[in-house]
Chains A and B, each alone.
Chain A
């Protein structure tokens, strides 16, 4: 029987993050995830491991325990991520700058970030502290400090995108555009950002991560719908996806109460589901989960060779 194939009009944007031999490329595919018989999937999804720029005081005990003493020093933590998990990227969340946390000054946060950046070779994802006002002061300094790194910075939201877009544009970084599990807002934000002169091919979408058992299927369906539209030629939805798997899954009751394997498995299960939904960048927290997911991606990609 002949296989009826839908024709892909527009591939997903191909984006390079980082520089040199450690640079990663994501996107570029013309088919739904891992359906190699239907199109091209030139790049494997990548894993990043997320670290904080200060000690993680409110993380679940099992996760903190797995980090041991390295959690006290972000530079050590960053180096260990790479030597122990072989992640493709490092994600640094500048939690310390949050006014309700350490409330570190932007300059101090950036100086810690610089030390981390000097200690690693892989491409960087840098996320602000989550307080809009502080991030509007912090992220331009981050952007300038990392000029030339071709990093991925976040996050731009519908209500706060101008500062970070302008600074990424000036310093040549890519940008994470975040929408609240809403494909209409995701598309609108991509338009708003590109209206500022920012190349839409440098946008990575965060559709908002939801964990297994906590609405993951909503994220899944938004991603699927968005992908289908992109393949039909909607350039304002043709961006790669990033998902913050670790940050979301370790908030769940199951991860906190399930013992260390409970959390790790919850993180893996959410990540592999998001791979099937079309995720290009998976940001993990637990080293063991990150390693498993990388291995799983490798297995899936083998089928396409």
Chain B
């Protein structure tokens, strides 16, 4: 399971402030903390308050790379901001993201090829977020087909079914879990599947419990990556245990510690 830390996001006030004031220490500390807690990659989003997202993205990538060498997941709705990040990354990046719209896919996949990156494809398009499994699979198939046209390996593609907060679209959650399972069947080798986990608990007051319960169910349905808060220790413990039960790691009495020693 690829754990992508979500905390370097300008949506959070303290991060936005650190970006604005160019406080390298705060950003690097946040990066190191997440990696030490088990993040395999770090999501980077300049956030809604950024006045110059291109410059901010470049600064974030450069600052973080001085502290850690994990993969970076460049998160922006703007291709030019992503490209600015791609120019600065030293290791293989993950582009976050493209929708299933043809124009968007063509722009983003061209960047994927140019920079040998990996990419997240979100099962939505201009018409909005799908509200059933069939529509999700249709959109995901469109992404897979387009990626193949571009010669992108299916293992480099992360398909995101788009999580609904449980207090908004409760009837969607089962559809989403089933979509994850079906996404894995779309081609061989199977594409990766990914969720932005914290969405599930948006606006609720039991966030950690909802996050970790959904995560274990999603892992059982074939989820291979998630953008999440690695500092939530119970969440990470649940993830490690779910993978153990699926025989992805060999049991020993100290299996939590063993996983963390990887």
Give the interface segment out of B12-20, B56-64, B229-237, B244-252: B244-252
Q: How far is the CB of A188 from chain B (nearest CB, A)?
A: 4
Residue pairs across A and B with Cβ atoms less than 8 A apart, 10 shown, are A183-B250, A184-B252, A184-B253, A187-B252, A188-B253, A188-B254, A229-B250, A233-B262, A234-B249, A234-B262
Q: How many A-B residue pairs have CB under 8 A?
A: 35
B257 at the interface (CB under 8 A from A): yes
In the complex, B261 has a CB within 8 A of chain A: yes
Is A216 interfacial (CB-CB < 8 Å)?
A: no
Q: Is B258 an interface position by the 8 A CB rule?
A: yes
Q: Using CB atoms and an 8 Å cutoff, list the residues of chain A in contact with chain B.
A: 183-185, 187-188, 191-192, 194, 225-226, 229, 233-237
User: Chain B residue with minimal CB distance to A225?
Assistant: B250
Q: Which residue of A lies closest to B257 (CB)?
A: A191
Does the CB pair B257–A184 fall under 8 Å? no
Residues of chain B within 8 A of A185, CB atoms compared: 252
Given the interface pairs A188-B254, A191-B254, the reply to whether A229 lies near B249 with Cβ below 8 Å is yes
Chain A residue contacts of B250, Cβ below 8 A: 183-184, 187, 225-226, 229, 234, 237
Give complex CA distance A229, B258 in Å.
12
Q: Which applies to chain A's interface (DSSP): helix, strand, loop or mixed?
A: helix
* B104-121 interface bits toward A, Cβ cutoff 8 Å, 1 = contact, 0 = none: 000000000000000000
Q: Of all chain B residues, which has the CB nearest A237?
A: B250
Q: How far is the CA of A234 from the CA of B252 in the complex (A)?
A: 12
Partner of A188, one of B249, B252, B261, B262: B252
Contacts of B262 in A (CB 8 A): 233-235
A184 CA to B4 CA in the complex, in Å?
29
Chain B residues near A188 (CB, 8 Å)? Answer: 252-254
- The chain A residue sitting closest to B254, CB to CB, is A191
Which residues of chain B are within 8 angstroms of A229 by Cβ–Cβ distance?
A: 249-250
Residues of B within 8 A of A234 (CB): 249-250, 258, 262
Query: How many Å from the CB of A9 to the closest CB on chain B?
Result: 9
Q: Is the CB of A191 within 8 A of B258?
A: yes
| A244 → B minimal CB distance (Å) | 23
Neighbouring B residues of A226 by C-beta, 8 Å: 250
Task: Tell me, in angstroms, the Cα distance from A235 to B250 when the chains sit together.
Answer: 11
Residues of B contacting A192 in the complex (Cβ-Cβ under 8 angstroms) = 254
Flag B54-73 by CB within 8 Å of A: 1 or 0 each.
00000000000000000000
Point out which of A191, A236, A237 has the most chain B C-beta atoms below 10 A from its C-beta: A236
Task: Indicate if the CB atoms of A235 and B261 lie closer than 8 Å.
Answer: yes
Whole-angstrom distance between the Cβ of B259 and the nearest chain A Cβ: 9
Could you say which of B250, B257, B258 has the most chain A C-beta atoms within 10 Å of its C-beta? B250
